[in-house]
Each structure stands twice: as C-alpha cells, then as structure tokens.
C-alpha cells in the first residue's frame, strides 16, 4: 500500500528528495508535524550541501531509506514558536544542524554530548515517531527548541550554514583532543568542506597549519587564500619524509579509502590523528608506529548543541565562515556530480529561500 | 666476522647464556663487560625475567637480531661497584635494569623523562652501544649500566618479584596512568592473560579500577577471578556475553601480539573509550572507523616507560604489594621454558634464578 507522504502529518511541506541509489534528486511533496509547545518552526533560507548528503543519497553506507530529503546545515528564520519556547522569537535567525532529537536522560545527553546519545535522531533519514525525519532541502522544518541554534547577528547566513556540520565536525575534536595550544603544529589531511574550515580554526587557535593533500594544485590556494602555513603532497615520498615527526596533531577529513601509515609518520611523540571523514572500508592500522610513538587514532562525530552554539559564537568573533558556491535548488543534481569529483571550493549552499515559490 | 671476540672486548669477564642462531637455543657463553665508568653501576645479577620479547629476539622473528645474542631485560641484583660520579647508589644496594641502557639525554623526549621514546635510545641487549660494541642482557652473571638507567628495588620487594616489573610491569603501568585509566571506579578491560595481562589486572585492581579480563581461553577464568582479582571474565568468542558487555568499558589494555579483530573490542568501549595496544602485532590490524567516530573512541599505543616512571612504578608495586606471578627456574631449564612460553604455558612469567644456578663453565 503506497504511503502518502503528503498526508501522514498535518502540515504540507515541499522539498527535493532522492528516491533511489542513483542519488538523483527531484521535487517531493511531503508533510511535517504541527508546531508543538516545545517546537520552533523555521522557514529555511539556506542549506549547505554536505558530502554526507551525497553518501546518503547513494546509500553508500547502507542505511538509507528512500525517499530521503537530505540537508543538515540549515539556516532559517523563525516563523512560529511553541508556548514553552522562551529563547527564540518569531523573526530570529536560527540554525539546525545534524540532529533533531536525543533521549535527554543518558550520561551523554546529561553532559551536553547529545551527539553520542544512543537514541540520537538525525535531521534526515532517521526513524522518528512512526515516520522519518526529512532535512533541509525543503521549505521549512519544525524542530524541538533544544536542537535549534541561535545564529549570531554578524555571521552571514549563507556562508555560515556549513558551520552547522562542517564547522562543528572539526571544531569539536580540535577542542576535545587538545589541538588548540598556540604554537603547536596542526596537519589538515584533505582539503574539502571539512578541511578548509579546519585550516581557519587552526589559524584562529594560533596553530601552525600544514595541509596534507594528494592534489598539488591546491597549494597556492591553501597558502595564499586560506592561510595555511605549508602544504605537503602526500604521495610525494620526499616531502613526506622531510616532514616526519614534525606535526603535533592531524585532522583527517578524507573520506576516500586511504592509508594512515604515512600520516602517523608525520606525527611527533604522543601525536594524535583524529579521523572525521567516513571511509566505507576499515582503515589498516599498523600498530608498531602507535606503540613506538605513543600515538593515537581517535574519532569524533559532529558535536553537542552547547558546543555547536559555542562554535558559532567563536566563528562570529573570529570572522570564520565557509567558502561557498551558492546554488538554486534545481541545480542540486549538477552540484552533486561536481561534489563527487571534489569540484567545489569548498561547499555548495542551496539558496533555498529564493528557490521555491512562496507558500 | 667479529673483529674482537666477545670475551676480549672488555676488561671484565662475564658469563651467561646466548642464542647462536635463529633456532633460538641458548647455551653457555663467555663474554665481557666494560670497566665500571664514572657514572656506571655494576651489579651481580641474581634474577632475570623471561620476557616474550626475548623469545622473539632469540628466534629473530623481528628480523633485527644479531648473534650471539644474550637476552634479558628484566634484571635484578646487588650492586658490586659504583663509579666515582655515581650519586644514587652504593655497593650492596638492590637494583634493577629494564629494557634500555642508554639514550641521547638531550632530546625533548629525554628531557621530559620519556627516554623510552628517544629516537637513539639503546636497548639492553642486541643493540650497538656508544662504544661500538653490542649490548648483552641479563641472562648473565653481571651487568653494568649508567646509573640513570638503574632503578632501586625497595627492601620490601623480593628481587625475583621485582624483575618482571622492569618490562611487563612498566609496559602496563605507564599507559594506565597516561590514558587516565587509573581512576577509582573506572571499568577497564584487559585483553590477553599472560605476562603483561596479569600485571595489568593487578595494577588496575591496586588503582581501585573494575577489571574485566577478555580472553580466548575459558580455562583461565577461575584463576583470573579468584586468584588475580579480576571482577569479570569475558570469553571473546562468546557472542552473547560480548554483546551484553557492549559499551561498558572506559578503557581496554590490549596485550595480545597476535593479529586479532579490533571491532569487538571497540564495541565494548563506552563513548570516549580508549583502546590501548601494548602488544605489537607484526601485521596491520583492521580498524573500523564508524564505531570510532560514532563513539568518539580512540586507539593508541604505548611502549614501556621512562626511567622516572619506572622507579615510580617499582615504588608503587612495593607499597601496594603488586607482584607478578612467577615460576622461578634454574638456568639449565631456560630452553624448556622458552618452548613452554611459546605455547603460553606459564603462570605468568618465568624468572631465571641466576644467582643460585648460573655456574661458569670453567
């Protein structure tokens, strides 16, 4: 029996959805819940295109349920608030990131680490109250106030949208793993959506930043425009050798399958390699370099709400935004193709507010 | 071809056991030790622990061995001579030497009391020393080392018990401290119940930590719980029990050096949990990234410990009565012990009674 996406919930909604593993998006009529006492409704103005959106559309990770409306770098304006909502008012500029619900009672939730809650609900593609969550490639969204971020006044809405996933995804581990001591040396592996923001945070923390990339022609951009201090081509053995044991910590943003051994070699004693990219295959980890240098490989997954707000405020203070290419919703399929070839500097952002005819 | 015979390299005659080739069989060996220099401590060896590394080295399993090889880096004895500039020791003191006998003393690691991570450190046996000769380890009657690399063994700690602490003990003590797994009330796992594993259980219990032993051998359970004091025992092939233990551990010390799957171990960790490898499998292990990312977990390594920490560990062990379970053997049992060690047939460390059973051949 065909489910009616348009009628399963009371409010009509419109967006673009992927319907099969081709990942091609097309217009999609669906529905959202009423704004409850604790909810905030926001009209979506901008939504960043995260590589996770592409992975999910193509079911690369094996847990996509179609139709899927991606988008978890959502910036919009509040149009309605519930009776219990005190911190937001209509007209506020707000953001919604990677999650829209968690249990609020487990140890992680109690410590503002909702992103590690076992009952986490993602902004899209998660089961939720008998239906599923649909993300920001759409006209509006209704979210519990706990998971809505205040968007700082001096942060541009379009270039700030990617901070809600890309930003927090590198900010959180940089804080947690102590990659913030001025003067220390940060390596950023991979120069894409996550990588370019990591450079900016690194410089804001007073670190020396080296980009590690397979693409030599990204060098002048990385240094001259993004502010990195140096650039190593990872498949150049001589450059890698010269940099052996010189880096305190590395943020590995690469989601393609790759070898970590060369990256481990760049680390000093007690060095930390933090992986935030999500390769589809396991990494091969040679244990000897870990043991011989007391090095570690850690993971991190976006961040809790409190920390995401802290990150946004930090960005507003230090004038950190993403480098974006603004597109209309109907250009999304072309953008996805280009994204799959890493042909973007460095994040597509959908100008949602100007893409759909007004409701 | 050796230019100088080992017996004549140095002025002081020494006698011990050496492996001559990769069969790993040990036999009598006459060699010599250097003059006791102004910063050196010379001591009569009374006991030497048999570390699994000794077995790997005598058989050249790591491809770095040169023969003749005198193993032994868990060495305990009594001081017989001290150099003119030695400040910390005197004749008659109870001392030990562990895995290293020299380091550059000037790099950042050395300055931070992390000589074990100095890129030019010299291992106690099988490595070229600063005078160009090869170091010989503790399966011998005497030892000489710079006082910086000698630890004092407190009176309350029997020398035969102290010996294995010098490698096995520090190898687990250091990461338990460094990775914050020594805090009261934490829950940690210990994978593998051998020389390292049993010491990890004992130190962890002394720290007030809840310990789960994770092993492939069901018959070690009773021993682990009743004798070593572990709180829980998990058989890693028991899917149900492993499933039930998911997300319960703050940290895991993994002492297994054979290649083994990491995914189940990562699953046992709580979020922010730490998997610390102290065994070093020769082949890379598969590390599934999703669980690491979804739980902000980490995998790390650790290797022995610096000299300051080794002394701290010995003092802690003496104070809290943390002693290895040992099987004391005579010198002529060493080859049999090595065979048994290869089959993990020891509870949990062989210690050679050098003082009473090593007789010179002449």
Interface test with A, best of B250, B296, B302, B304 (most A CBs within 10 A): B296
Which residues of chain B make contact with A282, given a CB cutoff of 8 A?
263, 286-289
Within a domain: B318: yes
Within a domain: B345: yes
Nearest Cα residue in chain A from B289: A282
What's chain A's average pLDDT?
95
Q: Return the residue matching tokens 């589809």.
A: A280
| Mean pLDDT of all residues in A93-121 | 96
- The band of B259, judged by pLDDT with boundaries at 50, 70 and 90, is confident
Which residues of chain B make contact with A284, given a CB cutoff of 8 A?
284-287
- Range in A42-46, A206-210, B106-110 the model is least confident about: B106-110
| Mean pLDDT of all residues in B73-78 | 98
Neighbours of A135 (CB within 10 A): 28
- The band of B2, judged by pLDDT with boundaries at 50, 70 and 90, is low
Phi, psi (degrees; rounded to nearest 5) at A59 = 55, 40
Share of chain B above pLDDT 90, in %: 89
pLDDT at residue B1 is higher than 80: no
Residue finishing a domain among B301, B327, B352? B301
How far, rounded to the nearest angstrom, does the alpha carbon of residue B124 sit from its chain's CA centroid?
12
Q: Chain A closest CA to B119's CA: distance in Å?
A: 10
**Do B241 and B262 reside in the same domain of the chain?**
yes
Residue A255: the pLDDT is 81
| Residue B167: closest CA among B255, B43, B291 | B255
Q: Chain A closest CA to B293's CA: distance in Å?
A: 4
Which residues of chain B make contact with A299, given a CB cutoff of 8 A?
289, 291-298
**Do B48 and B146 reside in the same domain of the chain?**
yes
| Mean pLDDT of all residues in A304-331 | 97
Residue B282: the pLDDT is 77
SS3 A17: strand
Nearest CB among A118, A292, A299 relative to B292 is that of: A299
Nearest Cα residue in chain B from A61: B290
Within a domain: B174: no
Residue B302: the pLDDT is 96
The answer to whether B286 contacts A282, with C-beta atoms less than 8 Å apart, is: yes
- pTM confidence score: 0.92
The answer to whether B301 contacts A293, with C-beta atoms less than 8 Å apart, is: yes
| Mean pLDDT of all residues in A241-257 | 93
Q: How far apart are CA B305 and CA B297, in angstroms?
A: 24
Which residues of chain B make contact with A173, given a CB cutoff of 8 A?
296
Which residues of chain B make contact with A285, given a CB cutoff of 8 A?
262, 284-287, 299
The answer to whether B297 contacts A283, with C-beta atoms less than 8 Å apart, is: no
Q: Which domain holds residue B334?
A: 6-167+305-361
**Do B69 and B197 reside in the same domain of the chain?**
no
Higher pLDDT, B259 or B303: B303
The answer to whether A294 contacts B300, with C-beta atoms less than 8 Å apart, is: yes
**Do B148 and B198 reside in the same domain of the chain?**
no
Q: Chain B closest CA to A173's CA: distance in Å?
A: 9
Within a domain: B173: no
pLDDT at residue A318 is higher than 60: yes
Within a domain: B1: no
Q: Chain B closest CA to A155's CA: distance in Å?
A: 29
What tokens does A222 get? Answer: 């990385």
The answer to whether B271 contacts A288, with C-beta atoms less than 8 Å apart, is: no
Which residues of chain B make contact with A287, given a CB cutoff of 8 A?
277, 279-281, 284-285, 301
Residue A2: the pLDDT is 55
| Mean pLDDT of all residues in A320-326 | 97
Do you find a cis peptide bond into A288, omega within 30 degrees of 0?
Answer: no
Q: How far apart are CA A101 and CA A143, in angstroms?
A: 8
Within a domain: B49: yes
Residue B257: the pLDDT is 82
Nearest Cα residue in chain A from B271: A116
Within a domain: B241: yes
Nearest Cα residue in chain A from B292: A299
**Do B142 and B220 reside in the same domain of the chain?**
no
Within a domain: B82: yes
Q: How far apart are CA B330 and CA B190, in angstroms?
A: 31
**Do B117 and B214 reside in the same domain of the chain?**
no
The answer to whether A293 contacts B117, with C-beta atoms less than 8 Å apart, is: yes
| Mean pLDDT of all residues in B317-341 | 97
Identify the CATH number of the domain in which residue B189 sits.
3.40.50.720
Q: Chain A closest CA to B117's CA: distance in Å?
A: 6
Chain A interface, Cβ < 8 Å to B: 108, 113, 116, 118, 173, 176, 261, 269, 275-276, 278-279, 282-301
**Do B309 and B290 reside in the same domain of the chain?**
no
Q: How far apart are CA B317 and CA B324, in angstroms?
A: 10
Neighbours of B218 (CB within 10 A): 11
**Do B318 and B294 reside in the same domain of the chain?**
no
| Mean pLDDT of all residues in B290-299 | 94
Residue finishing a domain among B260, B280, B301? B301
ipTM value: 0.90
Residue A357: the pLDDT is 63
Identify the CATH number of the domain in which residue B117 sits.
3.90.180.10
**Do B134 and B261 reside in the same domain of the chain?**
no
Domain architecture of chain A: domains with CATH? 11-163+324-354 (3.90.180.10), 166-299 (3.40.50.720)
**Do B74 and B104 reside in the same domain of the chain?**
yes
**Do B284 and B337 reside in the same domain of the chain?**
no
Phi, psi (degrees; rounded to nearest 5) at A264 = -60, -35
Sign of the torsion angle spanned by Cα atoms B77, B81, B82, B83: negative
Q: How far apart are CA B263 and CA A107, in angstroms?
A: 23
Phi, psi (degrees; rounded to nearest 5) at B270 = -70, 175
Nearest Cα residue in chain B from A298: B298
Provide the number of structural domains found in chain B. 2
Q: Chain B closest CA to A239's CA: distance in Å?
A: 21
Give me the torsion for CA of B161, B164, B169, B170, rounded to 10°.
120
**Do B21 and B139 reside in the same domain of the chain?**
yes
| Digit-coded pLDDT (tens) for B203-230 | 999 999 999 999 998 999 999 999 999 9
- Range in A4-8, A350-354, B92-96 the model is least confident about: A4-8
Which residues of chain A make contact with B305, given a CB cutoff of 8 A?
none
Nearest Cα residue in chain A from B305: A294
């Amino acid at each position: 029996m065909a489910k009616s996406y348009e009628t399963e919930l009371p409010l009509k909604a419109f967006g673009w959805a992927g319907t099969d593993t081709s990942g091609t998006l097309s217009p999609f009529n669906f529905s959202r819940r009423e704004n409850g006492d604790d909810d905030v409704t926001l009209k979506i103005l901008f939504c960043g295109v995260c590589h996770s959106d592409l992975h999910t559309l193509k079911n690369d990770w094996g847990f996509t349920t179609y139709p899927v409306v991606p988008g978890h770098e959502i910036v919009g304006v509040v149009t309605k608030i519930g009776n219990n909502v005190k911190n937001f008012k209509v007209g506020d500029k707000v953001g919604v990131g990677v999650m829209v619900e968690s249990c609020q009672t487990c140890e992680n939730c109690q410590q503002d680490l909702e992103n590690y809650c076992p009952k986490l609900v993602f902004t899209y593609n998660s089961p939720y109250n008998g239906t599923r969550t649909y993300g920001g490639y759409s006209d509006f969204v209704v979210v519990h106030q706990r998971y809505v971020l205040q968007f700082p006044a001096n942060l541009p809405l379009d270039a700030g949208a990617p901070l809600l996933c890309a930003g927090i995804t590198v900010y959180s581990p940089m804080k947690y793993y102590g990659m913030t001591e001025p003067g220390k040396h940060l390596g950023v592996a991979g120069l894409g959506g996550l990588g370019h923001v990591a450079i900016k945070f690194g410089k804001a923390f007073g670190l020396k930043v080296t980009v590690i990339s397979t693409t030599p022609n990204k060098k002048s951009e990385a240094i001259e425009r993004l502010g990195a201090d140096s650039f190593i081509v990872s498949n150049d053995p001589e450059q890698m050798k010269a940099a052996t044991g010189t880096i305190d910590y590395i943020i590995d943003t690469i989601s393609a399958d790759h070898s970590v051994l060369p990256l481990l070699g760049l680390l000093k004693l007690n060095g930390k390699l933090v992986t935030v990219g999500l390769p589809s295959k396991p990494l091969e980890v040679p244990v000897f370099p870990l043991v011989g240098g007391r090095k570690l490989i850690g993971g991190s997954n976006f961040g809790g709400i409190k920390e995401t707000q802290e990150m946004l405020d930090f960005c507003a203070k230090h004038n950190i935004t993403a480098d974006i290419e603004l597109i209309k919703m109907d250009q999304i399929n072309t953008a996805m193709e280009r994204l799959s070839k890493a042909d973007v500097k460095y994040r597509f952002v959908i100008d949602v507010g100007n893409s759909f005819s007004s409701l | 071809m050796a230019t100088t015979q080992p017996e004549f390299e140095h002025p002081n005659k020494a006698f011990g056991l050496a492996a001559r080739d990769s069969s790993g069989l040990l036999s009598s060996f006459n060699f010599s030790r250097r003059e006791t220099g102004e910063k050196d401590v010379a001591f009569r060896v009374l006991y030497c622990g048999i570390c699994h590394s000794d077995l790997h080295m005598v058989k050249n399993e790591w491809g770095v061995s040169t023969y003749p090889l005198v193993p032994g880096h868990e060495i305990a004895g009594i001081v017989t001579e001290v150099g003119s500039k030695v400040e910390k020791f005197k004749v008659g003191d109870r001392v030990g030497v562990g895995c290293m006998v020299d380091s550059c003393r000037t790099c950042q690691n050395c300055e931070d009391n992390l000589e074990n991570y100095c890129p030019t450190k010299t291992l106690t046996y099988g490595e070229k020393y600063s005078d160009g000769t090869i170091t010989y380890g503790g399966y011998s009657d005497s030892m000489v080392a710079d006082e910086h690399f000698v630890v004092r063994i407190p009176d309350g700690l029997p020398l035969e018990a102290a010996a294995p602490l010098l490698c096995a003990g520090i190898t687990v003590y250091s990461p338990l401290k460094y990775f914050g797994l020594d805090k009261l009330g934490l829950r940690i796992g210990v994978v593998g119940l051998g020389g390292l594993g049993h010491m990890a259980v004992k130190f962890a219990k002394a720290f007030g930590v809840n310990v789960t032993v994770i092993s492939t051998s069901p018959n070690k359970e009773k021993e682990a719980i009743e004798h070593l004091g572990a709180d829980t025992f998990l058989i890693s092939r028991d899917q149900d029990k492993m499933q039930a233990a998911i997300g319960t551990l703050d940290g895991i010390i993994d002492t297994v050096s054979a290649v083994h799957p990491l995914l189940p171990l990562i699953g046992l960790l709580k979020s922010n949990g730490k998997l610390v490898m102290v065994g070093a499998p020769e082949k890379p292990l598969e590390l599934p990234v999703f669980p690491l990312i979804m739980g902000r977990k980490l995998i790390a390594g650790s290797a022995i410990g610096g000299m300051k920490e080794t002394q701290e560990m010995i003092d802690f062990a003496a104070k809290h009565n943390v002693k290895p379970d040992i099987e004391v053997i005579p010198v002529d049992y060493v080859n049999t012990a090595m065979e048994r060690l290869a089959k993990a047939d020891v509870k949990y460390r062989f210690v050679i009674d050098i003082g009473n059973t090593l007789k010179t051949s002449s």
